[in-house]
Amino acid sequence: MKRLYFRIAFLLLCISLLFITACGEKQEVKRKPKKSVIEFNSKIINRPDKSDLNTIKEKGQIRILVSEFTENHSALPRESLSPDYGPNLAIQYAQNSNLEPIIVYAKEVDLIPALNKGYGDIIASNLIKSPARIEKLSFSSPITYTQQHMIVPTNGRLKKIELDTPVTENLRVGVKPEDIFADTLTGLQQQHPGLIRVDIPKKHSPDQVIDDMIEGKYDSTFTDSHMMEMALSYREDFKISHTFPEKKIIAWGIRKNNPSLLASINYFIEEHKLSTDLPAQSLQDFDHILKNKQLRLITRNNSSSYFLWKNKLMGFEYELIRKFALQHDLTLKVLVANDFNQMMQWLLEGRGDIVAAGISRTEENSQLPILFSTPYNHSNEIVVQRTKEEPIDNITKLAGRSIVVARSSSYWNTANRIKSKHLAFDLLDAAENLEVEDLIAKVADKEFDLTIVDNHALAIEQSWRKDIIGTLKLTESKSHHWLVRESNPKLLDALNKFIQANHKNTFYNVTYNKYFKNSRNLFGSHIQDDVKNKKLSPYDDLIKKFSKQYGFNWLLIAAQINQESQFNPKAKSWAGARGLMQVMPKTAKKLGISELHIPKNGISAGVKYMYWIRKQMDKNLTADVQVWFSLAAYNAGIGHLQDARALATKLGLDADKWFGHTEKAMLLLAKPKYAKKARYGYVRGSEAAFYVKQIRHIYQLYQRSFNK
C-alpha cells in the first residue's frame, strides 16, 4: 500500500511539473509585445472596443485619446491655458457623466486610426475639422476656432505673400504629408501651380518646422492661430505673410457609429462654452469668475513660482493657486510676466485676476490700487555671500562692501534703512528682470559682492548648490501676499478663506517642504566595493536584461541608476520621481508600469523611457552624442534639450555636440534673457550638465574596473 502511495505521489509531482513548465512557456509567449497603432501606452493597446454610450456607461469607463507629441512637447504656458486643457476638459466630461477617465496616448498621425480601430472612445486633442476628416469620424461641437496662416522668416526675401502675384512662382512651401495644411496647399496649387510642395518629416515639432524654414529648406510654411501665438511669445524670427480669412473649427473626434456619445459630448461642450466665453480683458470680481469658470494667474517663470520640469508644471505659487482653482471648479490660465512692473500692469488692465509670486508689502506697492491677501508664507531677509569668505556675522562688517538688489524689491528698502545708519557700503541697483537665483549665482561667481534674499529663496538655492551661504539676518519675519485689484474684494475674501483653511495643513506642509526644505541635489554617486568582484549591485541581472532588451550598454544604465538613486529602490525625489531610476509616476503610467519601488518595475520603466527618448533623437547624431542628449533629456525633459540645441545654433555653437556646446546653451536657459525666448522656458541647466558629466564619470570608472 505504501508503495502505491509513493507511485501516486510521484505521478502527481510529474504532472505538476509538466503543468508548471507549460504555464511558464505560455507566460514567455505573453511577454512578447504585440504591434499596435498605440506604441507608448502598452497597457491599453491589446483591448480594442467600439462600444456605444450605453455600453460605455455599463463599463463605467471612457478612453480619451491624447497626442503623445502634445503631451511630451507642450511649451511652457505663458499667456494661455495649460497644455493639458483638452484632456482635462474631457476628464471633466467623464466625471460629470460618472465615468472613470482612461487616458490613452498615441502618435499624432495615429489618433484617428486608433479611434476607428477601437483603442479609444474620443479624441481630445486639437483636431481641425476638414472635409477629409469628416469622412473618417464625427466631430463634436466646436471647442474653439482658429485661422490658418502662411509664415515667412523675418529677415527673408519675402516680405508678404500676395497669392495673385508672380511671387508664388517657385515658392517652396513646407507641409507635413496627410496634415490639414497639406490639404490647404493642394487647394492653393490648383489656383497657383507655381507653388512647390516640400514635405516635412511627420515627427517635426512646430519649432523644428519654423527652424527648417529659417535655415532655407523652404521659403514658407503654414501654422494656425494657436500655434502661432504660442511661438510668438518666445521667438521673433518669423512673421505672418498671408492670413486665410476662413475660420477653422477645432473639436473632438468621435467614431461615426456613436451618435449617442456625440450628442452627450455636444451637450457638455455647449454648456461649458456658455460659461467660459471670456473677453480678452476683464475686471470682474469672484462671482463672475465662478460663473465663467476660469481663473487667470499672473506669476514669474522661476524656480519657486512656476516652471516646467520633466513635462510637469511645477512651482510653489502655482501649486497653491491650482489647488484653490480646483476647489472652486475653475480652469487655471497662467500668464508669465517679465518683472514686477509688468505683473502690476497686467493685473490693473484686467489681463489677469491674481498675482502670486512671493511678494511682500512695501511702501511703494502699498500705494497701488491693489489689495493684499492674508499672509500665506513668511520669511526673513538675509545677506548672501560666498561660502569660503569670512562670515558676515555682524552688521558692521558690511562696511566697505557692496550689495546688489532690485530697486522694486523690499530688499532695497531694507538695505537703504541700514545704510541710513551711516554704514559705508555701496547699494547697487540690479536689473529688474534678474531672478533671485541669478543674483545668487552672480555672487557665487564673484560678479556681485553681496546680495539680499528671503531665507526660503536661499533654501531653494542651497538645495542645489553649496558655494553660497546666508550669514546675517536683516529683518524680522515678513509676510508674503497674493495681490488682487482693489475692485475685487470678493476674490480677496475667497483667497483669504482658502489660506486660513489650508495654511499649515498637510497639503501646505508637503508643498512647502518640497520646494523649500527637501534637497534637490542629485544623489551623491558612489562606487561599490563589489566592483572588484565584478558586481555593482543586487540588481545587476535585471540591469543587464533590460539594457540588452532596449539596446543600451548595461554599465551606462548602472551608472545612471547609481546617480539617480544609489541603487535604493525606495528612493523618492523632491519632485515625486520614484524607484531605482527615479521615473515620474505619470510617465511610468504611460509606459504601462506601476509600483516603481519594485526593482524590476523601476528599472524597466527607466530603461524603456530612455529608449523612447533616444528614438526622438536625430538619427544623424553620433551614437555617443545620442546617449548624452538622451541623458540630458531624461533629467530635464526633452523640451529643454530642444531649446538648448536651438540656442546653441543661435550662439554659433555646435548643436550636434553636448559637451562644451549644447551643454553651455543649457546652462544659459536658467537666465531670464534666454528663458523668456525659449519654448519651454526656465530650466536649471546646471543640474542637467552635472547629471550628464557625473554619469559619464561613473561609467568610465565602471568600464575600467570591468575591463581589467
Tens-place pLDDT, residues 107-130: 777 889 999 999 999 998 878 888
Q: Establish how many alpha carbons lie within 13 A of residue 37's alpha carbon, considering only the half-sphere containing its beta carbon.
A: 19
pLDDT at 518: 66
The larger pLDDT score, comparing residue 452 to residue 271, is at: 452
Lowest mean per-residue pLDDT among 84-98, 328-342, 543-557: 84-98
> What's the pLDDT band for 39 if we cut at 50, 70, 90?
very low
Mean pLDDT of 578-602: 91
pLDDT at 83: 55
Mean pLDDT of 320-343: 90
The larger pLDDT score, comparing residue 13 to residue 554, is at: 554
> What's the pLDDT band for 548 if we cut at 50, 70, 90?
very high
DSSP string, 138-154: EE-S-SEEEEEEEEEET
pLDDT at 237 over 90: no
SS3 assignment, position 79: strand
Question: Among candidates 611, 608, 627, 620, which has minimal Cα distance to 693?
Answer: 627
> What's the pLDDT band for 160 if we cut at 50, 70, 90?
low
> What's the pLDDT band for 10 if we cut at 50, 70, 90?
very low
Share of the chain above pLDDT 90, in %: 36
pLDDT at 616: 86
Q: Which residues pair with 331 in a beta bridge?
A: 294
pLDDT at 1: 46
pLDDT at 74: 58
pLDDT at 619 over 90: no
DSSP string, 182-239: HHHHHHHHHH-TT-EEEEPPTT--HHHHHHHHHTTS-SEEEEEHHHHHHHHTT--SEE
pLDDT at 452: 92
pLDDT at 272 over 80: no
> What's the pLDDT band for 275 if we cut at 50, 70, 90?
low
pLDDT at 17: 34
Q: What is the pLDDT of residues 363-382, one digit of tens each?
A: 888 999 999 999 999 888 89
Lowest mean per-residue pLDDT among 4-13, 169-178, 541-550, 642-651: 4-13
Lowest mean per-residue pLDDT among 58-67, 226-235, 365-374, 521-530: 521-530
pLDDT at 13: 39
The larger pLDDT score, comparing residue 297 to residue 66, is at: 297
Mean pLDDT of 209-235: 86
Alpha-helical runs (H) found in 571-622:
585-590, 599-615
φ and ψ at residue 273, rounded to 5 degrees: -65, -35
> What's the pLDDT band for 233 if we cut at 50, 70, 90?
confident
Lowest mean per-residue pLDDT among 9-18, 178-187, 338-347, 521-530: 9-18
pLDDT at 159 over 90: no
pLDDT at 36: 33
> What's the pLDDT band for 8 if we cut at 50, 70, 90?
very low
Mean pLDDT of 493-505: 92
Residue 690 exposed, middle or buried by CB count within 10 Å (0-12, 13-18, 19+): middle
pLDDT at 3: 47
Query: Which residues, 6+ apart, have CB-to-CB distance to 143 below 8 Å?
Result: 86, 89, 126, 250, 251, 252, 269, 273
Alpha-helical runs (H) found in 31-129:
53-59, 68-73, 85-96, 111-116
Name all domains of the chain by residue range, CATH numbers in brackets: 53-144+252-276 (3.40.190.10), 145-247 (3.40.190.10), 286-377+482-516 (3.40.190.10), 381-475 (3.40.190.10), 529-706 (1.10.530.10)
The larger pLDDT score, comparing residue 328 to residue 278, is at: 328
Distance of CA 451 to the CA centre of its chain: 31
pLDDT at 170: 81
pLDDT at 311: 67
pLDDT at 520: 53
Element of type H or E holding 469: strand 468-473
Query: Which residues, 6+ apart, have CB-to-CB distance to 466 below 8 Å?
Result: 387
Question: Among candidates 108, 21, 103, 101, which has minimal Cα distance to 65?
Answer: 103
DSSP strand pairing (377-379 vs 312-314): unpaired
> What's the pLDDT band for 72 if we cut at 50, 70, 90?
low
pLDDT at 45: 44
Query: Are 624 and 700 contacting, i.e. CB atoms less than 8 angstroms apart?
Result: no
Mean pLDDT of 566-585: 89
Mean pLDDT of 433-438: 77
CA–CA separation, 307 vs 288, rounded Å?
29
Q: Which residues pair with 306 in a beta bridge?
A: 302
pLDDT at 82 over 50: yes
Q: What is the pLDDT of residues 644-691, one digit of tens each?
A: 998 999 899 999 999 989 999 999 998 888 888 888 888 888 889 989
Share of the chain above pLDDT 70, in %: 85
pLDDT at 175 over 70: yes
Active site residues: 564
Mean pLDDT of 300-318: 84
CA–CA separation, 317 vs 377, rounded Å?
10
Query: Which residues, 6+ apart, have CB-to-CB distance to 150 below 8 Å?
Result: 161, 173, 220, 221, 222, 240, 241, 242, 243
pLDDT at 422: 66
φ and ψ at residue 339, rounded to 5 degrees: -160, 180
Q: Which residue has the cell 486643457?
A: 85
Q: What is the pLDDT of residues 238-252, one digit of tens each?
A: 988 888 888 888 899
